[in-house]
Structure 1
Amino acid sequence: MIDTAKQIKLENFADDIASEIPLTPTIYKAFTAIDREMFVPVGFRHWAYRLDALPIKADQWISSPLTVAKMTVYLEPDGADNVLEIGCGSGYQAAILSRLFRRVFTIERIEALLKEAKERFRQLDIHNIHTRLDDGQRGWRQYAPFDRILFSASIREVPDTLFKQLAEGGILVAPIERGGEQIITQFRKEGGTIAATAKESCLFVPVKSGIE
């Protein structure tokens, strides 16, 4: 249960995001419902409501709230039932998605990060996030097809395996590495073909293979 003072702080936080990026009412509400402070290391909690990326375990980062908002907006979650996230990290992006999708599937390759994310979901009483320790580039075939797929790490090229796990009419959003920079790219699957639209520059940690 979020107390009144914290709720005001979260609403101001969402207002700060919305002043930079147009948010739908449902996405705005998601940012007021999930306490980012829960997802950052104790020593950085006084910075939790700034619009900055912050370091977490295993040389990883919790993305800037602006980046989380952009990726969420480009997913176009309204009307979609389920989403697959590649790269759970702190769990913050998955927690935001849990307010927008009936089912969230998230994969993380670093066991220590996944263990902490699962505990945060438990503390926040979030029950519609399904987690898996694996190399996310393989996807999660058991629960495919997915209406939406989100990469929370940069990649040179989306594996064809994941496009196969994307539902017809679905959207995949990924930071694609191109010529020394990363570009948030939205892919749509229509008639069995994939159409890509470059959106804007971004900065993510790169996808890595295997499990740690």
Structure 2
Amino acid sequence: MDLETRIKLQKSKRMTEEIKNICHINQDILDVMAHCDREMFVPKGFGAHAYKLDALPLVADQWISSPLTVAKMTQALYAKGIDNILEIGCGSGYQALILSKLARRVFSIERVERLAKEAKEKFKHLGIHNVNVRYDDGQNGWRNYAPYDRILFSASIKQIPASLFAQLKVGGIAVAPIEKEGKQIITQFTKTEHGIEKREFDDCLFVPIVDGKSH
């Protein structure tokens, strides 16, 4: 392991310790985050801020979420050991990277063409083959590989469309930042044979979901 890699791992470890001091996150999630190179997924010029608990700007008015928010969203998803996850809003690809270490397959949709292309290149560079990135409007879902065990929204939304719940397995979980009374709340939805059960967690801050595709 070269010096640069060791330094990044030390920074990642300190970042996860900071998260641990703020709230309870399962150790398996913290271990994954401690071994992931977040610096590769932040914009150029922001490397010094890669391991701080800050959201950082991307192109097209998009953002890479705070590591603390990523940890909370991942915790609510119960992703460890499951087969497949659909992510709505790939962004830089950092959240998909974390999920790729917990689940067998990740299908991530990004509506900004440049971000989708860059995310694909990053996963190829890292030798990660279980993340599939598609350039499309995430609200369409990805029917080819449905139904999914988990669906994660990496953009805020007022309510999850019924068409996306249709792509979730019975017993599956969807997690989204739901817009409610001027706030965004990390909300977990469990699909049962009798309907959808809802559970609310912490406040959060995401860019809102947008219709259509963008270049």
- Shorter-chain TM-score range: over 0.9
- Cα distance in 1, alignment partners of residues 171 and 19 from structure 2: 29
Gaps of 5+ in 2: none
- Which residue is equivalent to 1:173? 175
Aligned to 2:203: 201
Match of 1:7 among 9, 25, 46: 9
Counterpart position of 1:140: 142
1:19-98, aligned counterparts within 5 Å?
19-98=21-100
Q: How far did residue 42 of structure 1 move? A: 1.7
Unaligned runs of 5+ in 1: none
CA distance in 2, matches of 1:68, 1:125: 22
Counterpart position of 1:158: 160
**Counterpart residue number, 2:131:** 129
Tell me by how many angstroms 1:149 deviates: 0.3
**2:79 partner letter:** P
Distance in 2 (alpha carbons) for counterparts of 1:148 and 1:118: 21
1:32-66 deviations in Å (ceiling 9; x for gaps):
12111001112111011100001111111100011
**Could you tell which deviates more after superposition, 24-33 or 142-151?**
24-33
8 Å contact from structure 2 (residues 173, 191) kept in 1: yes
CA RMSD between the two structures: 1.3
SS in 1 for 2:108: strand
Other structure's SS at 1:96 match: helix
Q: Tell me how far apart the structure 2 counterparts of residues 133 and 41 of structure 1 sit (CA, whole Å).
A: 20
**2: distance between equivalents of 1:181 and 1:24?**
26
Question: Secondary structure of the residue that 2:202 maps to in structure 1?
Answer: strand
**Number of corresponding residues:** 212
Q: In structure 2, what is the Cα distance between the partners aligned to 1:15 and 1:126? A: 26
CA distances 1:86-118 after superposition (whole Å, capped 9, x unpaired): 000010000010000000000001101111111
What TM-score, normalized to structure 2? 0.95
TM-superposed deviation, 1:18: 1.7
CA contact (8 A) 1:168 1:192 kept: no
Q: Choose from 76, 83, 107 the match for 1:105.
A: 107
- Secondary structure of the equivalent of 1:42? coil
What is the CA-CA distance between 1:6 and the residue it aligns to? 2.4
Q: Is the 8 A contact 1:21 1:69 kept in 2?
A: no
C-alpha displacement of 1:25: 2.5
Q: Contact 2:119–2:133 (CA<8 Å) still a contact in 1?
A: no
Which ranges of 4 or more aligned residues in structure 1 deviate by more than 4 Å?
A: none
| Amino acid paired to 1:43 | G
Give the TM-score normalised by structure 1.
Answer: 0.96
Q: How much identity, in percent, do the aligned residues show?
A: 58
